[in-house]
Structure 1
Amino acid sequence: MTESTEPMSTTDTRDAAIRDHVRRLLEAADAAEGLLPIVEAGDPVLRMPCAPVDGQLDDAELNAFADAMQRTMRAAPGVGLAAPQVGVPLRMFVAEDPVPTQPDESVAARLALRRRVPFGPRVVLNAEYSATTDRTASFFEGCLSIPGYQAVVDRPLTIGLTGQDLGGAAIDEELTGWPARIVAHESDHLDGVLYLDAAQMRSLATNDAVARWWGRADTREAAAALGFEVPATSVF
């Protein structure tokens, strides 16, 4: 007579699949300079609500996965990367925006306009955010999973972020300007949302076109030329 076993629940099956996939990714990364493959728009994992981080990985695996995500983000290069962007439907993202420390005058003006300040490096688990002001900001943004393009997205100027850090400590903070945009963009990934879902599609442009035409311009100039509207709530 064989020993009876309880069937695995849907959650157990999901968590086991996540754990096995992360282990395979980390093994493959050892032969790829520590980098993870970034999945692109059209992959179903980018449209899945992600599972909360809740013991699927042990501490060593979670730290190794976060390290690999950070290396991949920096190599891309990008300022944020969510777990589903490397094929793992888990509620975690990494972010880092070092910002030039001694920018020239024109770069400094653009950084100030965007309220872009040094941010990170950060690892955030189980992120949730909400707007804490009615004011918004409209700017071009891009995504490592939609390479080569950018579009204008109107996002809350200031948000509240909750979640946990890599050590499990609670996060409850307010972010404004570009850090708020980064966190909102990456947190959206965890709910299966891409930035193009909320973008002004008439603003869609290649990276080269943005650099040529709109890198130093007010978003309203792009709106007038390309035929889209900037909401009245936008401060830029």
Structure 2
Amino acid sequence: MSQELSGFTAVVTGGASGIGAAIAAKLQGLGAQLAVLDLNPQDLPEGQLGFACDVSDDASVKAAIDGTVAAFGGVDIVVNNAGIGAIGSVEDNDDAEWARVWNINVVGMVRVSRAALPHLRQSSGAAIVNICSIAATAGLPQRALYSATKGAVLSLTQAMAADHLREGVRVNCVNPGTADTPWVGRLLSQADDPAAERAALNARQPHGRLVTAEEVAGAVAYLASPLSGSTTGTSIAVDGGMQALRLRPVG
């Protein structure tokens, strides 16, 4: 495997499970030193250093970034992956839930980026990759709150890219479709007919299946790599064509 990230230190939030764990494994495989920031950074693969971190708490974020710098000497790559889901229309979540999800999904990325930027400015290949969602670019039923936060992440990514380009920091995002993760698995298990619900999610994506965590990790690795030095302010859809394609129904 290429070692294009050799000598780089990467921070992955929410990196202990699901998409985050796949991203951490991919970047480590490309030679990066890995700091995993997670609520429960337990049982990490060999070579990954875990820091307990709550992205909704600024002191927790600062301590985790400071710990990363103390351990590795700096920060070159930040992957803002930590986030939570929300189900329902605008009628179904109260103000407290809107504030809670927004605080984690949007302001959490701000906190981590803000803490890391002084160190990223010292890097020769600094990159921030935000994990966004197809929900930012397509109207999905029963996802009003979640979609609002991911729409904000898309706009935030572009604004950050403009602010920090001349400081040598590239900022991009990845928009996954519905991915086969533990969170989606829990949602499916709560459905009246889990098999039918999974079939519906598969069919919603033009390539006919859920996205894999490894596919998302591949897009993150591309954007994080110094080989992509002219790519900034962009979003990459990893969604089986859901964002852009309009296929005829099967049959």
- TM-score category of the 2 structures, normalised to the smaller one: under 0.3
Q: TM-score, normalised by structure 1?
A: 0.25
Structure with more strand by fraction: 1
The structure that has the greater radius of gyration is 1
Q: TM-score, normalised by structure 2?
A: 0.24
Structure with more helix by fraction: 2
